[in-house]
Amino acid sequence: MMGGGSAMMVSLASVPDSVASGPVTFVATNTGALNHELLVLPLPSDGAGTRPVGTDGKINEQSSLGEASTSCGRGPGDGISPGTRSWVTVNLAPGRYELLCDEPWHYANGMFAEFTVS
Ligand SMILES: [Cu+2]
């Protein structure tokens, strides 16, 4: 579930926040007023929310394992518009991951969550 009211009040929450290893399907529902997206990356060594943010307001997506960012569809796209959802299935090994939104400045404003695979 992801949402946001005014300007940069954005948040991301995962239910559940831990699963067994193997294929994991993430369904990202945008309950906010802005476009959002969901990326799955290994947790940074310093913890969730510690990635450097560039001058464009985005993080380095190079280590992304999967992305749901299409309105009403699977996989990458131009963003999940308000009131719609996107999904992606990622094969995850046991470990700690970070779920985040990389629309400009959303990560910097708190749009991330830790996710555990056991
Ligand atoms: Cu967002």
Q: What is the pLDDT of residues 33-45, one digit of tens each?
A: 999 999 999 999 9
Rounded to the nearest whole angstrom, what is the distance from the C-alpha of residue 37 to the centroid of ligand 1?
A: 6
- Alpha-carbon distances, residue 94 vs 21, 32, 48, 97 (angstroms): 5, 31, 17, 9
Q: What is the pLDDT of residues 27-72, one digit of tens each?
A: 999 999 999 999 999 999 999 999 999 999 999 999 999 999 999 9
Q: What is the CATH number of the domain that holds 62?
A: 2.60.40.420
Q: How much distance in Å is there from the Cα of 116 to the middle of ligand 1?
A: 21
Q: How far is the CA of 11 from the centre of ligand 1 (A)?
A: 7
Tell me whether strands 10-12 and 66-68 are parallel, antiparallel or unpaired.
unpaired
Asked whether the beta carbons of 62 and 52 are under 8 A apart, the reply is no
Number of separate domains in the chain: 1
Ligand 1 center to residue 6 CA distance, Å?
12
Average pLDDT on 21-25 reads: 96
